[in-house]
Amino acid sequence: MLGPQCCENPPVLNPLSGSGHVEKLGGLDVYVSGSPDSNKCVLLVSDIYGYEAPNLRALADKVAASGFYVVVPDYFYGDPYDPSHQDRSVPVWIKDHGPDKGFEDTKPVLEAIKNKGITAIGAAGMCWGGKVVVELSKEELIQAAVLLHPTYVTVDDIKDVKVPIAILGAEDDFLTPPALVKQFEEILASKPEVSSYVKIFPNVSHGWTTRYDINDPEAVKAAEEAHKEMLDWFVTYIK
């Protein structure tokens, strides 16, 4: 389930942020960054605040600079979670925007990406997006996965993962606590046919990879360490 930590440090959304641009792909508005001539793509699946979050777009641009074509879909159709709408709490909002719907919405996006000549796709999901990415990995619709402080992901989900997967958890996370991440690690260790990497980052909280204060050097450093782990995973497995 989603909880208070999913809502902490909400970003100031900016539709003009990033060095990429917005276009239609597979029926969704998407932020894209990087060369469309690349044959490698990384799909970034946002948290509940959606694809206009500046830190998320900055991460997309960073991944693109390593040679990937990066796609960040607007899964919420212009309706990301807004904490100022007190009459529409997360449990109410999520009824319109469940990760199961996000998973289905991803399929035509992936087809559209492949139609551009891209032959290898990885996906990373933060919080809400972690569940979408784990579902993609269960059906082998992608070639590699990274989960960053995921929400909704269960032990049974991890048992069914079929592609190389990295899980980056936070020491302070009530939604996917370290004990659960350790269970994920044990399950993956029993699946030698699936390459895996699991790490719990110390002294950080749920959401630290994208909802950090850019003016806080320690927060930026912690986020960048996770970004590097994610990027290294994709460089290794998205060929």
| 170-202: pLDDT as tens digits | 999 999 999 999 999 999 999 999 999 999 999
Distances (CA, A) of 113 to 69, 108, 222: 9, 9, 31
pLDDT of residue 55: 97
Q: Please, which residues have CB within 8 angstroms of residue 202's CB and are 6 or more apart in sequence?
A: 171
133 contacts 45 by C-beta, under 8 angstroms:
yes
Report the DSSP beta bridge partners of residue 198: 167
- Kindly report, residue by residue over 81-120, the tens digit of the pLDDT: 998 888 898 899 999 999 999 999 999 999 999 999 999 9
169 contacts 198 by C-beta, under 8 angstroms:
yes
Residues listed for the chain:
239
pLDDT of residue 4: 56
**CA–CA dist 181, 201 (Å, integer):** 11
Residue 41's φ and ψ, nearest 5 degrees, are: -130, 145
**pLDDT above 90 (res 152):** yes
**pLDDT above 90 (res 17):** yes
Q: What is the pTM of this model?
A: 0.96
Which of the residue ranges 7-16, 118-127, 200-209 would you say has the lowest mean pLDDT? 7-16
Q: Which amino acid is residue 116, in one-letter code? A: K
Is the domain spanning 4-237 CATH 3.30.470.10? The answer is: no
Q: Quote the longest CA-to-CA distance of the chain.
A: 47
